[in-house]
């Protein structure tokens, strides 16, 4: 299963579990009703004891919250998701446009790189089987030709081994990059499911006098976690744009007939590592958009884990890339 399908599974999981909030509304309505009774009684008693007129408008708050609890999946979740969904769709369209440009440029670069290697007589037989066979046919069976033939086979084997290691390491970094995005999306889906199912209880508790801030905290946390996906798409679009600019520069260089490519992908790997570390800063960036309390410990742990992961990945990548670059890419 591809990573894109796994993200779709998480979307479907949220849609499947969101109606469970209606079951929790039955418990929340009883708690909210009891809270409304005490809330209205307290406000009326305070007004009577102070010989002041009763202000009816604040007394409507428990009833408004009761309506929200009763129709929580449609009134609350439906309204929030309806308002925030265009943001998700807009950032996702930006990401898709950048990825399409990146794929087109990557294919163009691969084609030009192959043509550049074929133009060079010293590397043409490494990239093309036809050129390799053609060069073998030009050789005879003298001792010097046999030595040349054996060196050609050795160089071709070294080139294939080098390409295999380079492509394998690149695929490993790409898997880590996709896994980091999947981790953020999984945590986001888990938080949204918990906030959606237990949302009626948060509304019911906010009816009680002294717990009014619970409603505000729930709203800010839900919106903050929901925005993780748009921020993630914008971060991925930024990385894709940077890689597109790098590929465009490589394409301009490959257009020169005298340019000889080195077949290295060091810059690409570096930006993959930056993406792996950058994905775990998304909760912090989202907190700048809308301030949500209660997630500070989680964000702090994420940042500490990111720092440790960055040190480990950076050290291991530097060691592996150094060995590969020093021994195989000469």
Alpha-carbon span 264 to 167, nearest angstrom: 10
Residues 320, 326, 327, CA angle at the centre, nearest 5°? Answer: 90
pLDDT tens series, the chain, 330 aa: 566 677 778 888 888 888 777 778 878 888 888 888 887 887 788 777 877 777 777 788 888 888 888 888 888 888 999 999 899 888 888 888 777 667 777 777 777 776 766 666 665 656 565 665 666 666 656 666 666 667 776 777 777 787 778 778 878 888 888 888 888 889 999 999 999 998 999 999 988 878 888 888 999 999 999 999 889 888 888 888 888 888 788 777 777 666 655 555 677 788 888 888 888 888 888 888 877 554 444 445 544 544 454 444 444 444 444 443 444 344
Domain parsing of the chain, residue ranges: 3-311
pTM: 0.70
Q: What is the DSSP letter of 255?
A: T
**Which residues lie closer than 8 Å to 62 by C-beta, 6 or more apart?**
32, 35, 36, 39, 40, 207
Q: Note the pLDDT tens digit of each residue in 52-91.
A: 777 777 788 888 888 888 888 888 888 999 999 899 888 8
- Please name the residue that has the structure tokens 């340019």: 259
């Amino acid at each position: 299963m591809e990573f894109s399908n796994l993200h779709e599974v998480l979307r479907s999981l949220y849609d499947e579990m969101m109606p469970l909030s209606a079951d929790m509304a039955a418990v929340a309505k009883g708690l909210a009703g009891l809270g409304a009774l005490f809330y209205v009684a307290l406000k009326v008693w305070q007004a009577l004891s102070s010989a002041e007129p009763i202000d009816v408008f604040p007394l409507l708050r428990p009833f408004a919250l009761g309506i929200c609890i009763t129709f929580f999946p449609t009134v609350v979740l439906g309204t929030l998701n309806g308002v925030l969904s265009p943001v998700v769709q807009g950032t996702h369209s930006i990401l898709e446009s950048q990825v399409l440009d990146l794929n087109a440029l990557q294919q163009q670069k691969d084609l030009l790189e192959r043509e550049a290697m074929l133009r060079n007589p010293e590397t043409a037989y490494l990239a093309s089987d036809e050129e390799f066979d053609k060069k073998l046919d030009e050789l005879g069976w003298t001792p010097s030709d046999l030595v040349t033939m054996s060196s050609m086979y050795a160089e071709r084997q070294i080139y294939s081994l080098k390409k295999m290691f380079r492509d394998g390491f690149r695929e490993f970094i790409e898997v880590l990059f996709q896994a980091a995005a999947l981790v953020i999306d999984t945590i986001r889906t888990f938080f949204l499911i918990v906030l959606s199912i237990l949302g009626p209880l948060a509304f019911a508790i906010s009816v009680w006098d002294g717990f009014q801030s619970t409603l505000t905290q729930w709203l800010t946390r839900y919106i903050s976690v929901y925005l993780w996906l748009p921020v993630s798409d914008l971060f991925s679009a930024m990385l894709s744009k940077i890689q597109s600019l790098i590929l465009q520069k490589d394409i301009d260089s490959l257009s020169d007939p005298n340019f000889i490519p080195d077949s290295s992908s060091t810059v690409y790997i570096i930006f993959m590592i930056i993406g792996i570390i950058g994905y775990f800063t998304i909760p912090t960036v989202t907190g700048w958009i809308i301030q949500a309390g209660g997630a500070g410990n989680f964000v702090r742990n994420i940042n500490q884990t990111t720092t440790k992961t960055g040190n480990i990945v950076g050290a291991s990548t530097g060691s592996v890339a150094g060995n590969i670059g020093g021994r195989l890419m000469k």
